[in-house]
Amino acid sequence: MLAELAAANAAFAIIKTAVKNGGEIASAAKAMIAYFSAKEDLQIAVSKKSTGSKQNTELEEFFALEELKKHEIDLRELMIWHGRAGLWDDWIHFQAECARMRREEKKKIAKAKEKKAQELQNMFDWFLIALIVGLGIFLLFVIINFLFDLQGTF
C-alpha cells in the first residue's frame, strides 16, 4: 500500500512541476497515466484487507485515500487554471467512460472463463457417457460370451 502511495505522490509531483514550469498539463500525460495507475492500485490494495494490526492498517488506508483526495483537488485546479475550458469536466467524463469499459472487459473475461469451464464440463460429461456405454457394451459382450460358453458345456 505504501509503495502505491509513493508512486502516486511521485507522479503527482512530476505533473505539478511540469505545469508550474510553464508547460501545459498535456505535457505531463505520462506522469498522469502513472498517477492514475498508482491511484487505482492503491484503491485495490485498500479494498483487499491485509493481515496485521487492523487499526493501524485502517488508519494508514484512511490517510492514504485522504492524500489522494488532496491530489485530486490540486489536479482539478491545475486543469481548470492551466488547461483549456471544460478540461476538468471532459476528464471526469473520460474517467467514467474508461471505468465503464474496464467493467465491461472484466465481464467479458469472466463470461469467456465461464464458457470455457462449461465446455470442459460438457466434454467431461460426454467422455463419461461414452465410457459408461463402452463398459456396458463390453460387459454385455462378456455376459453373452459367458452364456454361450455355458450353453456349449451342457
- Burial category of 97 from C-beta neighbours within 10 Å (exposed 0-12, middle 13-18, buried 19 and up): exposed
pLDDT digits (tens, 9 = 90+) for 57-104: 777 778 888 888 898 898 888 878 877 788 888 888 887 888 888 889
Q: Is residue 23 one of the residues assigned to a domain?
A: yes
DSSP track, 6-50: HHHHHHHHHHHHHHHTT--GGGGHHHHHHHHHHHHHHHHHHHSPP
pLDDT digits (tens, 9 = 90+) for 8-50: 888 888 887 877 776 667 777 788 788 888 888 777 777 776 5
DSSP track, 113-135: HHHHHHHHHHHHHHHHHHHHHHH
Q: Is residue 51 one of the residues assigned to a domain?
A: yes
Q: Is residue 14 one of the residues assigned to a domain?
A: yes
Number of separate domains in the chain: 1
Q: Is residue 66 one of the residues assigned to a domain?
A: yes
Q: Is residue 35 one of the residues assigned to a domain?
A: yes
- Which residue from 146, 27, 1, 154 is spatially nearest to 83, judged by alpha carbons? 27
Q: Is residue 126 one of the residues assigned to a domain?
A: no
The more confidently predicted of residues 16 and 125 is 125
Structural domain boundaries enclosing 77? 2-83
Q: Is residue 129 one of the residues assigned to a domain?
A: no
The more confidently predicted of residues 129 and 44 is 129
Q: Is residue 100 one of the residues assigned to a domain?
A: no
Q: How far is Cα 112 from Cα 132, in angstroms, rounded to an integer? A: 30
